[in-house]
Structure 1
């Protein structure tokens, strides 16, 4: 089986890439755009489809996993053309590639397609994106859903091991492990369902093996506000100082879904033995690894 992971230099794509390589005998190929990573193919999926590299165009892909997008929500709000280019255009092109090779296309989406009034959301909940980012992700979902063979996986607040260490939880815990005092603020009125990127990779492996189709929500056991997220970290690190705020105080460019998050009941019903880890699990793993180095 030939699998292409678009955006394998990022948090989600990187975890999928390394996990599938570790647990399967599939032929796994990954791409990067701006952040170069050894063994990955340089590739901008938003360019004209006919200009794709030969290896991308001509390999008979069984599965294409599209993890790439422009995820800076406030930037997208003020740069609509850029958001459309990196999120919608890339999806249009990868749908074309999927049709050529009759590939399954797995698209990574978000809870930002909902308005945040009634989360955590099930797969069949009414969509109503508030931001340009959310609107472009929903447009992309609709494009993908025209294929005969597709998976749309919605996730939110992803954390985990990452080459660039960009995600909030990994970055802040690494600083705290070094003994650096941190003062961090969080919203009391933004709720979501954080998930470890490695769990996403494990779930995708199961879905590929079982040839699943349609829409799935992936979420862990944690459902909490941004401040509650920080309070979990503080249980392990007294050096963390927490300040709270209301989302409206920030006057951000893009409106956020306040009661967002996702309900993974559908996935867990089909995979009753699957175990989603949580924030505590991840921090304890980091502490154990840190102690082992001492």
Structure 2
């Protein structure tokens, strides 16, 4: 069975690949823009591809004819999406449209990665059937892409997630744990909000959730995240405690302190009962996630 993973250089992609490579049932094709930045260069086929080009997407699927596509490639920097709306739309919506059109020829099972930012944050945590009401252009682009997936002729699954953290090789961007740890180690003061809430997701858990959906050929929408509702401030304090760093450098602030191009939802987080019951999904606690990240950093 062939599985195509887009966005393979990204944080999720780097954790998805080993899971599928280790499973002898799968032949793995990794696809991303530019060169392959992964440390493991064998056990799969790598394709450098621009999915924002319809012909490139068609040629990729014609060449490999995957049974399953995990579409993890996306523009996820929320403020950058607000500043550069054309690039955001091209990457998150147009590329998804081209990939779906190509997938329909081969009836590939299409797994699409989405986000808690499709919600307005007024009534979190959210179940899968909650109505979308995005506050940012990033969220709007993901709602539009989800609509394309739902209206497609392929068997599909939408996997939504929340505030993913973990480590990756050649990381282009930091996440909550690495950002807090790096700043505090350098003795820098940081401001962290305590009036937003999320269910932070360990990247290994998200990868495992994606694989469970692929293995079972499940269809529909699944919320895959951590199980604890935490504010970024609480996450920062737990991170400082774990790494024995100076918590006095962490200043508790509210969201109004920051002037950001994109508006953030106040309280998202997910109800993950469906994934637990139907898929057997079992996420780590945030404390366990910290231990896993610490071992990887070493």
TM-score of the superposed pair, with normalisation by structure 1? 0.90
Q: Deviations over 1:92-114 (max 9, x none)?
A: 01101110111011000001111
- Once the two structures are TM-superposed, the CA of residue 36 in structure 1 deviates from its matched residue by 3.6
Alignment of 1:119-268 (within 5 A): 119-147=124-152, 148-165=154-171, 166-172=173-179, 175=182, 180-236=186-242, 237-240=244-247, 241-268=249-276
Q: How many positions carry a matched residue from both structures?
A: 288
Extract unaligned runs of 5+ from structure 1: none
Summarize deviations over 1:170-227 as a string: whole Å, max 9, x none: 53476389x5434322111111111111111111222112111010001112211110
- 1:73-104 Cα offsets, whole Å, 9 max, x none, are 11211221111111111100110111011101
Distance 1:72 1:35, change over 3 A: farther
Q: How far apart, CA to CA, are the structure 2 residues paired with 1:267 and 1:234?
A: 31
Output the CA distance in 1 between the equivalents of 2:163 and 2:138.
15
Report the counterpart of residue 284 of structure 1 in structure 2.
Answer: 291
**CA pair 24-191 structure 1, distance change in 2 beyond 3 A:** farther
Deviation at 1:139, TM superposition (A): 0.2
Tell me what 1:10 maps to: 10
Please give the alpha-carbon distance, in whole angstroms, between the structure 1 residues aligned to 2:241 and 2:125.
25
Q: Is the 1:191–1:225 contact (alpha carbons within 8 Å) kept by the matching residues of 2?
A: yes
Name the TM-score, length of structure 2 as normaliser.
0.89
Distance 1:107 1:258 in 2: 24
Counterpart in the other structure of 1:28: 28
Contact 1:19/1:198 (8 A) holds in 2: no
3-state SS, counterpart of residue 222 of structure 2: strand
**Whole-Å Cα distance in 2 between the matches of residues 18 and 4 of structure 1?**
13
C-alpha distance in 1 between matches for 2:97 and 2:78: 21
- C-alpha change, 1:70 and 1:176, in structure 2 (3 Å) is closer
CA 1:35–1:173 in 2, change beyond 3 Å: closer, same or farther?
farther
Q: Is the 8 A contact 2:226 2:286 kept in 1?
A: no
Compared CA separation, residues 175 and 215, structure 1 to 2 (3 A): same
| Change over 3 Å in CA distance of 1:247–1:204 after alignment to 2 | same
Whether contact under 8 Å (2:6, 2:32) holds in the other structure is yes
Q: Secondary structure at the match of 1:224?
A: coil
Q: Which of 88, 91, 99 lines up with 2:93 in the alignment?
A: 88
Indicate the SS of the match to 2:22: helix
Cα distance in 1 for residues equivalent to 2:86 and 2:73:
16
Structure 1 Cα separation of the partners of residues 182 and 212 of structure 2: 34
Q: Would you say the 8 A contact 2:194–2:254 is kept in 1? A: yes
